[in-house]
Chain A
Amino acid sequence: MSSRRSRSRQSGSSRITEDQIADLVSKLQQLIPEIRNRRSDKQVSASKVLQETCNYIRSLHREVDDLSQRLSELLASSDTDSDQAAIIRSLLM
């Protein structure tokens, strides 16, 4: 493993450039509301962006789980399929 590291240090162009990573990190920055809404004049560190990304994904998972639970309860309490499907579809469209 150490040989792999020394090899990469010698090679001039690593396949992943810092610019690419900075580019993608800034793209993530735009998606995460917590970072976007805060004052974004200074650069947020990559580590911070990654941490917020992980937290955000976890919170989104939790929200989906909660919504799934609620949906399953709502659907279980009513059993008229065809009526409900038509209503829902018309309300959605």
Chain B
Amino acid sequence: MDSNNFFHDLHADTSLESSRKKRRKIEAESHSSETEIKWKSESAQRIYAVKLVEALQRTSSQNAPPAPSEAAGGRVVRDVADRVLAMAAKGRTRWSRAILASRLRLTMLRRHRKVKKASGSASRPRKPLPTAVEDRKNRLPAVGNRVKILSRLVPGCKGIPVTNLLEEAGDYIAALQMQVRAMTALTEIISVSQGDRLGSSSSSQA
């Protein structure tokens, strides 16, 4: 009887452990596939494109009196596109939060110009986080260098540990790919609709 109980307990322990491991693995997999689904689905792309159009029309109606110059117009569109993209991330990634936070900081600065912004947290003493330096492979100067460059390219990722940086970079790339696809489709639609409107009086083309 005792041996039965013993084996039963043992089995229960291992099954609990394995189910825990399985759950962790499933979470990890679903996290990565969730990223892909989030940015690769057509519906997400369509929603982004629609929101982008709405946001662009809002800004163009705001800026109507002082027409932005040719060069600045692109910058405005880029900012709007980035903001809408960051909002699509729903605050779950660092880069999206950084994009939205920097917009907020800019608008705050413009309103309260006299407020002295506290300089960045570089001077604050932090606990030694396992940044790029502390891993054996990353002690190669080439890799460390590349990691630094990457951290500058992904918004809001300057001093974070390498694993987080790579995760953010993966999500950021997927989001950028969607942004390109959506904006390309949008450009085509707008140019086609304009072509139709302008060429409607002339005879139809083949």
Contacts and interface: CB of A to CB of B under 8 A. Distances in A.
Interface residues of B, number: 63
A30 B179 CA distance: 18
Interface in A56-93: 56-58, 60-61, 63-65, 67-78, 81, 84-85, 87-89, 91-93
Given A47-B140, A50-B147, A71 B189 contact: no
B81 A64 contact: yes
Contacts of B76: 72
Given A14-B135, A68-B78, A85-B57, A60 B50 contact: no
A16 B161 contact: yes
Contact of A4 (B128, B149, B180): B128
A87 B186 CA distance: 11
Interface size on A, as a range, is 35 or more
Contacts of A54: 146, 149-150, 153
B177 to A, nearest CB: 7
Contacts of B153: 54, 57-58, 61
Nearest to B196: A87
B134 A8 contact: yes
B172 A16 contact: no
Contact of A21 (B49, B163, B190): B163
Contact of B183 (A14, A61, A71, A76): A71
Interface string B148-167: 01100110000001110011
A25 B176 CA distance: 18
Nearest to B35: A27
Contacts of B77: 68-69, 71-72, 75
Contacts of A5: 133-134
B18 interface: no
In the complex, the 6 A-B pairs of residues with the closest C-beta atoms, listed nearest first = A72-B73, A69-B74, A50-B146, A24-B166, A68-B77, A68-B78
Given A14-B135, A16-B134, 11 more contacts: A5-B133, A18-B137, A31-B173, A53-B150, A53-B173, A58-B153, A69-B73, A74-B187, A81-B57, A88-B190, A89-B50
